[in-house]
Homo-oligomer: A and B are copies of this chain.
Amino acid sequence: MSIFLSEKYRSLKAYVPGEQPRDRKYLKLNTNESPFPPSPAVAEAVAGCVGDLNLYPDPEYLSLRSALAEFHGVTSDMVTVGAGSDEILDWCFRAFFTDRGAAFPDVTYGFYKVWADLYSIPYETFPLMDDFSIDPADYENTSRAVVIPDPNAPTGVRLGSAAVERILRADPGRVVVIDEAYADFASGDCVPLTKKYDNLVVVRTFSKSRSLAGGRAGYCIASPELIRDIDLLRFSSNPYNLSRMTAAAAEAALSDNGYFEENVKKICDTREITKEALRNAGFEVTDSEANFLFVRKAGVSGAAIESELRRRGVLVRRFDGPRTGDFLRVTVGEASDMKRFVSEIASAAKTVAETGNLV
C-alpha cells in the first residue's frame, strides 16, 4: 500500500478469485466454469467483428439488449449489460444499497461483503438455517435492501420465486437483487417477477451456462426505471464497458439455444449422478440446483482433503469459516471427469483420515 491511498480504502480487503493455475495441468473444478467450449456461433461472430475493432462499440449495446429482451420476453428498456455480472452487482450496491444498507446470507457469494466495504455500505447478514436453506422471514423483517443468489453459492440451495415474492412484497420501498448466476441449472427463476415488481433486479451471467467465463458478459433485468438508474452509473464510470467482441460473443451464444440447452442438461444430469455417487461413498452433499456441488466428509478436515486433491491434480474451492470450512465446492465438469473426481475424493478422504487430519 502506498502513502497515497485514500484513508477510505486502507483497510479494504479485496475479493480473492478462484485460482487460475499456471504451474501444471489440473482437473479444474474450482471456479464453476463450463467444461464445454462456447457455441461454434461465437467464433464466427467474434471473427466477424475484429475488422471493426478500431471503432468504439455502441454504448447502448442495443443489439445485444434487444436479443436478451426477446429471449426473456421483456422489453429492451428492461435490460442492461455488464462486463460479467460482477460489474452489474457493483452498480446495484452503489445505486440501491447506499441509503438503505444491505442484507444478505452469512454463507453466500463472498463479493457482497467486499462491495459493501468498498462503498461504505452498512450490511447485516442472516445465518442460513441448519440445512443451508434461506429463511425468507429474515428478509421480510428488515428494511435493508436485499441481495440473494438463487440458487445460493456455495451451497447450491434454491430459495425459489414464491419466497422471493414474499420478500419483494414485505417492503416495496427497497430493492431486492436476485443474483441468478446459476439459475439456468435450477428448477425455476425470478425473471417473470420483473414484470410485476418494480423493486426487483434479476442479475444474470454468460459465464456459466453459456460457456463464456472468459468473455466477460453479464446483464440484468428490471423495471425500466431501475435500468435507467443502473445505466446512469454505467455512463458515469465506463460507458463502453463491453468490447465489440464480448457483445458479439454474447449475442451469438444466446442465439444458439440448442447448444445451450444440451450443455445445461448434460451438466444437470452429471450433477445428479455425481451427487448420488458421492453420497454412496459416504459424503454429505447438498441438493444443489447449480453447476457445482457442496461436499463434506463428516469428521474429516476439508482443508486437508483440498490439499490432497491438489496433490493429485484436482482443484476445488474451499471457503474458510465455521460452517463452510470443511466443505468443498466442486464444479460439475464432464461426466468422465466427475467419475474420476469421485474416485479421487474418496481416496483422498481415506488418505487424510489415515494421516489423522480429523475434525
Q: Can you sample 17 A-B contacts with CB below 8 Å?
A: A2-B225, A3-B225, A4-B225, A6-B98, A7-B99, A8-B99, A20-B57, A22-B62, A53-B213, A56-B213, A83-B83, A83-B241, A83-B243, A84-B238, A90-B238, A117-B236, A214-B243
Cβ proximity bits A17-49 to B, threshold 8 Å, 1 near / 0 not: 110101000001001011111100011001101
B4 close to A53 (CB less than 8 A): no
Query: Which B residues lie within 8 Å of A62 (CB)?
Result: 22
Interface centre among A3, A12, A18 (most CB of B within 10 A): A3
B83 close to A236 (CB less than 8 A): no
A325 interface residue per 8 A CB criterion: no
A74 interface residue per 8 A CB criterion: no
* 10 nearest CB pairs, A to B: A14-B235, A2-B225, A214-B244, A6-B98, A54-B211, A216-B243, A53-B214, A245-B245, A5-B229, A56-B213
Which A155-197 residues have C-beta < 8 A from chain B? 173-175
CA distance A98 to B46 in the complex (A): 39
A353 interface residue per 8 A CB criterion: no
One of B8, B213, B232, B236 near A55 (C-beta < 8 A) = B213
CA distance A89 to B147 in the complex (A): 29
Query: Which B residues lie within 8 Å of A136 (CB)?
Result: none
Query: Which B residues lie within 8 Å of A53 (CB)?
Result: 37-38, 42, 211-215, 249
CA distance A213 to B52 in the complex (A): 9
How often does this chain occur in the complex, in copies?
2
One of B20, B56, B96, B236 near A4 (C-beta < 8 A) = B96
A239 interface residue per 8 A CB criterion: yes
Query: Which B residues lie within 8 Å of A94 (CB)?
Result: 6, 8-9
A87 interface residue per 8 A CB criterion: yes
Chain B residue with the shortest CB-CB distance to A60: B20
A126 interface residue per 8 A CB criterion: no
B174 close to A228 (CB less than 8 A): no
A346 interface residue per 8 A CB criterion: no
A86 interface residue per 8 A CB criterion: yes
CA distance A31 to B91 in the complex (A): 26
Query: Which B residues lie within 8 Å of A2 (CB)?
Result: 198, 223, 225-226, 228-229
Knowing that A4-B95, A4-B229, A20-B56 are A-B contacts, what are 11 other residue pairs whose CB atoms are under 8 Å apart, sorted by A's residue number?
A2-B198, A2-B229, A3-B173, A4-B175, A5-B96, A6-B95, A38-B50, A53-B249, A56-B207, A57-B216, A86-B240
CA distance A245 to B57 in the complex (A): 15
A22 close to B58 (CB less than 8 A): yes
Query: Which B residues lie within 8 Å of A174 (CB)?
Result: 4
B243 close to A8 (CB less than 8 A): no
Given A53-B42, A211-B53, A238-B83, are A4 and B199 neighbors across the interface (CB < 8 Å)?
A: yes
CA distance A117 to B235 in the complex (A): 13
Given A9-B233, A38-B53, are A4 and B240 neighbors across the interface (CB < 8 Å)?
A: no
Which A88-142 residues have C-beta < 8 A from chain B? 90, 94-99, 114-115, 117-118
A359 interface residue per 8 A CB criterion: no
Chain B residue with the shortest CB-CB distance to A235: B14
A6 close to B237 (CB less than 8 A): no
